[in-house]
Structure 1
Amino acid sequence: MMTSPLRLLIADDHAVVRAGLRALLDGEPDLEVIAEAGSGEEAVLLAAELAPDVVLMDLRFAGTDGVIDGAEAVRRLTTKAAGTAVVMLTSYSGRADVVRALEAGARGYVLKAGPPEELFLAVREAAAGRIGLASEVVGHLVGQVVSPPPELSEREREVVRLLADGHSNRSIAESLYLSEATVKTHLVRIYRKLGADNRAAAVSEAVRRGLLELT
């Protein structure tokens, strides 16, 4: 007995990426791309209208202020298209990004640079109600479980608090009576310890770990 293919929605702000993914996914007999979205907002609207089995969601969308990111789109999808699973397909493998996406309700997390087989598997796992993660992502998460995350020093916490307040490197240096070079060194260590690749992700992860409270 023939079964219907899984119906997919691709959400990415790059048309070339969407076209490549469509060609790749439509090549699988049990997968069918039914629509594309160029933003998180559009993905939420289309998912509510079309009720796909799985949405492949980019983590970050380019645009002006007010554009929602992939994690926020996932949160909205859980209420507007509750029966649809979401797999994040992104270039960002930092632990903070992975955790944020999964906490938002994503059922999978796959890297754009990974092998197609990982993407296919994640889509099928998510559609079946399971979690589909790229092997590299699993390695990050398992490493954090096996080895407790390194603690931030008091000075590093001060730097993160100033980051959260929107201070530039120069402003942080002046506030803490440090050189800008020393501030940059602290940032490198903070990013490594928090598994972040930018200032916003570092602040988000510090809040998640209870190292920082935003008022």
Structure 2
Amino acid sequence: MKLYDYWRSSASYRARIGLSLKELPFEHICVHLVKDGGQQHQPEYRAKNPQGFVPCLELDDGHIITQSMAILEYLDETYPDTPFLPKTPRERAHVRSLANMISADIHPLNNTRVIKYLTVELELDDQAKTAWYQHWITEGFNALEQRLGDDPFCYGTSPTLADICLVPQVYNAERFKVDLSPYPKIARVNENCLKLDAFKLTSPANHPDAE
């Protein structure tokens, strides 16, 4: 399989974690979101993903899957060992709810194209941009912290879809200097995840294209 990704993209980080938890080999293909005016805009990549987003997973037969959550669901259904979701419908709904709090409510407000629009089109300075970023992570983490229990991971004793979404978002929060001291549960889960190679070795810092 080929994973078209960008080293700092949190959605790409999710896909890398998922592939690694399943112990599936894959080839990195860098789609640099900044160089050359943004390689995601080039016709060759747009032919694979008309949205121009990363990640994009190309299967061995050439089939393309876009959107990180769809990629993760596909991996979980196709390779059921090391499941990303618990057994019962109620538990699965709970984990999906936690995952969507991050992937649908926090991340979209802080992704690259939104930040670029704020700085280029609306001409916000770095201070205002950082304030925007910190505000939406804080809003999301305030709610997420209340939803977490005392388990070592977001739910249960092994990583789930929620943990796969959480760790990249914590990475972003740290990058933008969000105060994480009010979130001891989030910090605990993040620490436990980063003890696992699937999370640690696929981090942006360890990406082969990291700058």
Structure 2 length as normaliser, TM-score? 0.26
Question: Which protein has the bigger helix share?
Answer: 2
Structure 1 length as normaliser, TM-score? 0.25
Higher normalized contact order (CA 8 Å, seq sep 6+, divided by chain length) = 2
Question: Which protein has the bigger strand share?
Answer: 1
